[in-house]
Every structure is written in structure tokens, then in C-alpha cells.
Amino acid sequence: MQRRTFLGLLGCLAAGVRAGDGRPPIRIGLTPVILDDRVAFLRRWAHWLEARLDQPVAFVQRAKYQDIMELLSSDQLDAAWICGYPYVRHLDSLDLLAVPVYQGRPLYRSYIITRADNQKAQGMQDLARGVFAFSDPLSNSGYLYPVYRLHQLFPHLPQPQRRLFRRTFFTWGHRHVIEAVGVGLADAGAVDGYVWDQLARLHPELTARTRIVERSPEFGFPPLVAPHHLETERRERLAEVLGHMHEEPQGRRLLASLGLDRFAFRTPSLYAGIALMASSVADERSQDS
């Protein structure tokens, strides 16, 4: 046998074995529930997943939660890391893949923040007549919780989030809320507590310009979900890989980079609190209209 032919065959074999060659990639949607602008980290994570899944992995990023939700419902994503609020709204079409465990528990909080030099505000009730920044209308910590909280504080005021503040706006990202409050564009804002903590670790100069005036009760951590229609085998494989991520050094390094302990499997009941708030606010809304 000619040596050249042998080498050629070997090359063909190697190419065939290479992960992801010709096969459609697993598309995972990301929302700003994590610091999603860390491109180098995402590449490392994608490589790690590709090696485990034996399949190409593509992270899909969109500015708004809504965009990711639409991609999910239109079958363009195999999985997505979304907030608890849109999850409870689409419970019937989404399966929980994995829930991040943060500081030992699969829970996180919402922070109400204001500028660091605003020493007067002690709680949300002190923020009236200011400019308030929400992160995304589909964010639990960045929209649902603060609205719910305002309803609690001002039970007789319909739509308090629109009447209490001089102006409100969405920044489409927790990090942007922190920036908007930091530069004084907004007087206060609501932000994912986990993102604030991570940003405080990575960019302390940004969080140093803000001050937390209120911490919410704990809610289920934004989960990784998959649409119902994803093949069971793929879904289980993905859940298994994520669930065992913390068992190997490289996976642990990636998790540490995210500031998480591990991924765990949990039942949807973890998000009952969010569901309650969502229905309460929705009732309010239907009463108004």
C-alpha cells in the first residue's frame, strides 16, 4: 500500500471523527441574567461543552429577553439561560434543564440600588419623583419584583411604577442598570443581585458608584431551560453534562469564572414565589384595564 494513500485515509478518518463536523450545532440562548459580554469566557465554555457533547455549540445572544423567548418558541434554540419570570410565564412549553447553585443554594435576590452619594434613601419608598431604571420587562429581579414591591408599598396607587417616578426606562441589561445609576442617568434602579455581586468582583469601579438600598427576598435562580420539543436524548445529555460540570477541574474553573458552585436539577416549584408575584401583578394589571 502506498504510504500517501494510507496517510490520506487516516486524514479522512480523523476529519470524520472531529466533533461537530457537518452536524448542526447545539444553539444555546443567553440573556443578561449573567454577564453575557465576556466573549473569551463564552468561547472557553463553548469549547468545553463541544468536547463533552461531541457536537458544536453556539451561544446565541440577544439584547432583550423577549428576543430569546421568541427564538425559543420558534424552535430556533435548543436551550436558553433565561430569567425565572419568563420561565413561569411559559411553564407549559419549557423544561428545566439545570438550575445554577449560587453560594450553596439555587437562589438569588433583587437589589434596589441608588447612586453611592445618595445617603438619604433607605428603601424603595424614598425613591419617589426620581428617574428609575428597570433592566428588562421580562426580568424578575429587574422589573417584576420592584413593581410587585411598589404595589405592596402603595397598595392604593394603581400602576405605582408609572406614577411614582418622574420617569422610568429599560436598559436591557442588569449591568446597564448599574451603569445608568452610576453615571446619574437614573436616580435608582432594580438589578439582579447575582450580577451586581459578579460585577463588584470583576469591575468594582462600576458598582462602587452605586449603593444597595434594599435587598429582595430570595427567588429561584435564573434557570437553563429547553423547549418541550427538544429530543429527550439531547436534553438529557445537555442536562447531564451541565450537572457534572463541577466534577472536573476545567468545569470547576468555568463555574468559578461565573461565580457559581455548580448546576443542579430542580423542580419548577422553585419558581413558585416568582409565579405568585407574576400573577399578583397581572391581576393588578387586569383590574386596572
Partner 1 sequence: MSAALRSLRLRVPLSLVLVTLLTFLFVSIAIGIQTSINLQADQERSLAAQAHALAPILTEALLHDDVWTAYTALRGRRSPPDAQTPDAPFHLVLDEQGRIFVSDRPGDFPLGTPLQATPLGRALAAHLGGGTPRAVSQFAFDDRQLVHAPLLSEDAPVGALLIAGPRGAIHQRLLEILGGGLLVMLMLLLVIVPLGWLWGSRLVHPLVQLAACMRQVGRRPMEALECPIEAGRDEIGDLARGFQSMLAELRDKQALERQMIAQDRLAAIGRIAGGVAHEINNPLAGMLVAIDNYRRTPPQRRDPERTLALIERGLGHIRDTVSALLVECRVEQRRCSPDDIEDVHRLILADDATRRVRLEWDNRLRGELPLPATAIRQILLNLVLNAVQAAGESPPGEVAVTLERDRRHLRMQVRNSGEPIPQAELERIFEPFRSGRPGGTGLGLWITYQIVEQLAGEIVARSDEAATCFEVSLPFPHDAAEAA
Site for partner 1, rule CB under 8 A? 131, 133, 166-167, 169-172, 176, 179-180, 182-186, 205-206, 209
| Smallest separation, CB 185 to partner 1 (Å) | 4
Question: Per the structure block, which three cell numbers stand in for 224?
Answer: 437553563
Residues 105 and 218: beta-carbon distance below 8 Å:
yes
Among residues 207, 213, 210, 182, the alpha carbon closest in space to that of 195 is found at: 207
| Smallest separation, CB 131 to partner 1 (Å) | 5
| Smallest separation, CB 176 to partner 1 (Å) | 6
Instruction: Tell me whether residue 112 or residue 133 sits nearer to partner 1 (CB atom).
Output: 133
Residues 48 and 251: beta-carbon distance below 8 Å:
yes
| Smallest separation, CB 143 to partner 1 (Å) | 14
Instruction: Tell me whether residue 141 or residue 171 sits nearer to partner 1 (CB atom).
Output: 171
Q: Would you call 44 helix, strand, or coil by DSSP? A: helix
Instruction: Tell me whether residue 68 or residue 239 sits nearer to partner 1 (CB atom).
Output: 68
Residues 225 and 97: beta-carbon distance below 8 Å:
yes
Residue 32: how many other CB atoms lie within 10 Å = 29
| Smallest separation, CB 212 to partner 1 (Å) | 18
Instruction: Tell me whether residue 78 or residue 136 sits nearer to partner 1 (CB atom).
Output: 136
Q: Write down the H helix ranges in the chain.
A: 3-17, 39-53, 65-73, 84-89, 145-153, 160-163, 174-183, 193-202, 204-207, 232-243, 249-258, 272-288
**Cα gap 110→136, rounded to integer Å:** 13
Instruction: Tell me whether residue 168 or residue 280 sits nearer to partner 1 (CB atom).
Output: 168
Instruction: Tell me whether residue 23 or residue 167 sits nearer to partner 1 (CB atom).
Output: 167
| Smallest separation, CB 177 to partner 1 (Å) | 9
